[in-house]
Structure 1
């Protein structure tokens, strides 16, 4: 394998980021919040369908809006933010491993992380998990570099760690600060480095952390006084302690998750752990002579770094295994240290073998094939649920003043693909939903609407449909097979397009005068396909 070929892995990630439609619900939701921020010009309040969306802080949305401003409103632009964070996680790991274990081990770790599903799939999936995982890993590496510097605590590395923690807080809240602090505290205590803690640049570091992380929370709380209690109380502490949220999983879930995310390399990290446990047991309770274990005796990798990696893995997996609700993305922060441990074990045990290089190339090929296959399968699955086909028609035909409404479900990706400039009216029995809704999209919308009475007008009762059927320029979407209403047989609406997953209807009110009186359909920026579509219709 060419020594520079590992540098192509970030390029492969960027290519894969352009392959799939937006996955639902996460990618549709989080990409649309960023697009709406750009379209509305409101950079303070994240909004979903125009209503405040305070589940997470805004760093992802800010960066998405910037990317879309520069590159256009496309799924690739939204994914670029996450992909660049994944590349940062990968790059900082390589730099640190090169520092303490040498260039060969760094390249090995780069291949292992860069060929994994965590990097090539998780690294281009639009949500907050990779973003916060990146800043958590950067913070841990920076503080470790600061404390293990040969000339004493290195202030600049430590300050970089404080800034990384601040960006972690802006990515997903308190875990961006608490989890790096938890890992580092355990590591400092285990390795007896607690005296170095006092030498950290606490004053300047905390000032940097506060200057980066705090302003948005202060400004947003002034605009929406209950926001902090909602974000931190319900969606951070509440999700950690409650049993009523979605995604209930068994305690061993994250063990399986890391096998999937770092297959096949995770098994070499486990081999390293097994050898270290055996060596520790033999040292504590010697029963018979045992050959020296390379993992225990090899001095090429300083033990504080290996200890850090194992504490990092065990502390974070243990923390996230406690709550009832578990998601595979929460395992992303432990993938870099596992890749490092796997690379260290490989360099010590398999790299010297004559066949080690061929085996490594074969496993890299296997990992890449799995990642490519996962992208293809995910893309085909997502396409069956996407509203991109009806969004293409709606985005080309809608004009200023038209109303778009939706029944039964909420198409997270439709406003993004159609580049709508006004919120969708969501028709539901909202009084009933407030009493019975679980942890779902309905709750996201009505809880967000409680922060902004004007934005709450997007949530309309089912009786609104009677008004829309008499209103020219009214569009209604319903999922195929809608249980509440078949609009195709409802007087006052005509079917415009029966799509893959959604059907688009238009009010027939004023249809006879529509051709002469309605303005020309708006062609939104980025919807260049509209002109081609109109030419085909002619």
Structure 2
């Protein structure tokens, strides 16, 4: 077997940061912490219900893909194309459902695999540049940060996109600095671009290119840029992405205009954008992405704050960095935050692409300014990892037993309760659409605000369940009283079931 490092001289493989050494006991504790985090996340994959709207929506789109067999156009509703995002994350969830059954585990398992691939890439990269101990600590920090841990098996686009941006980030630095095989990693850079384009679209490419455009002149490495072989590399990206984009436009004309202009321009610059076909704009103060990032990096934000009093040591560490390691990491953290600072419609999850580089940067700066973690730092880190895992276990157990306690918007228990009375129960919801209701009823649900449809339920020959919000109960009480029996309250909804058909 030929090593992918074989075409680089050994003297170019340099340690980017100060020596860093953990005891054997510390390593065992860290690996045990990672195992505990994985166990907790697997538990949550089975027990945590799909919650409206984001995860339930994407899970239902994937379920419709499996049901319809249409792998080109994701469907928002039956026959209605979902143009909001490319389909890579939907493909992964649909493949999981085909392999493991239509349910939460199948929908989430390949998203978790993407998170595992991100951790593997970060560990490999940091180990080559800063040693195995820093690599281990970096992936523990990343895996236990609030947003990464939560998103690691969450059915949405972001983790799949981050796999692409991290692959390109690692591949670019590895190919240009000589810490890995030039041919392999320069190709992986363009594969990473393709993953991002199929997971999120052009925004992933912009997030990838911003730190490169800033770091190359800063590091004085413009001449090395040609090492990526852009012509052949872009051919790789095009071959992996264009077939679907072209097929999607041919199958549903108008996709490219909506996706490229609406989703990538108007969504971010128009506050409360009204052109969203699949939801509503999230108007937020501009620049709030930085606060989101600080909150989403918890509990490790406190460790970053603990470095601030050692500003002189930090300056010395940065001044001694001849490789540009820290500047590359800092720009990779800042890129998505800079991009979304002027955005009017953002969510906390938009800070996820910053998290991998932030974990590596924190560990590296800590090593340079404070050395290996001391007694208090080890204790604090252990408490942080245990706290994240414990809190998630508690929330998962509560959501499994009674999601109403947490005010989670999920129809899992309501649908299950109705089906205990009749497995073939037909569901009618009065009011707004619920994606979790669609998922848990396998699409066999009607949403209406027409009283005439409620009147017709008694004559349709099947047993019906009527679901109304607590605010609408008084309005429908008279209409439902003669035909339905109240079964109970599930969160903010009341379930009525029809008496068994004779």
| TM-score exceeds 0.5 | yes
RMSD (Å) for aligned C-alpha atoms: 3.0
User: Per the alignment, do residues 208 and 274 of structure 1 end up closer, same or farther by CA in structure 2, a change over 3 Å counting?
Assistant: farther
TM-score norm. by structure 2 comes to 0.82
5+ residue gaps, structure 1, are: 280-290, 429-460, 516-538
Shift of 1:306: 1.1
Distance across 1 between alignment mates of 2:242 and 2:100 = 29
1:415 and 2:404 aligned: no
Question: Aligned residue pairs: how many?
Answer: 459
Partner of residue 335 from structure 1, selected from 352, 355, 372: 355
Shift of 1:244: 1.5
Point out the more displaced range, 371-380 or 115-124. 371-380
Shift of 1:507: 6.3
TM-score norm. by structure 1 comes to 0.77
1:5 and 2:32 aligned: yes
1:295 and 2:317 aligned: yes
Secondary structure of the structure 1 residue equivalent to 2:46:
coil
Q: How does 1:67-466 map to 2 (within 5 A)?
A: 67-149=96-178, 154-245=182-273, 246-269=281-304, 293-298=315-320, 303-348=323-368, 349-351=370-372, 353=374, 355-373=376-394, 375=396, 380=403, 384-393=408-417, 397=422, 399=424, 404-420=427-443, 422=444, 424-428=445-449, 463-466=452-455
5+ residue gaps, structure 2, are: 1-25, 274-280
Distance across 1 between alignment mates of 2:43 and 2:63 = 22
Partner of residue 478 from structure 1, selected from 459, 463, 467: 467
User: Per the alignment, do residues 292 and 356 of structure 1 end up closer, same or farther by CA in structure 2, a change over 3 Å counting?
Assistant: closer
Shift of 1:38: 0.7
Shift of 1:241: 1.3
Distance across 2 between alignment mates of 1:221 and 1:328 = 30
Secondary structure of the structure 2 residue equivalent to 1:177:
helix
Mapped contact 1:29–1:413 kept (Cα < 8 A): yes
User: Per the alignment, do residues 167 and 45 of structure 1 end up closer, same or farther by CA in structure 2, a change over 3 Å counting?
Assistant: same
Secondary structure of the structure 1 residue equivalent to 2:490:
coil
Shift of 1:471: 2.4
Point out the more displaced range, 212-221 or 197-206. 197-206
User: Per the alignment, do residues 354 and 240 of structure 1 end up closer, same or farther by CA in structure 2, a change over 3 Å counting?
Assistant: closer
Distance across 2 between alignment mates of 1:382 and 1:265 = 25
Match in the other structure for 1:62:
91
Q: How does 1:17-56 map to 2 (within 5 A)?
A: 17-50=45-78, 51-56=80-85
Shift of 1:258: 2.4
Distance across 2 between alignment mates of 1:413 and 1:2 = 41
Q: How does 1:484-503 map to 2 (within 5 A)?
A: 485-486=475-476, 489-490=479-480, 493-495=483-485, 497-501=487-491, 502-503=493-494
Distance across 1 between alignment mates of 2:433 and 2:177 = 51
Distance across 1 between alignment mates of 2:423 and 2:497 = 10
User: Per the alignment, do residues 427 and 497 of structure 1 end up closer, same or farther by CA in structure 2, a change over 3 Å counting?
Assistant: same
Shift of 1:466: 4.5
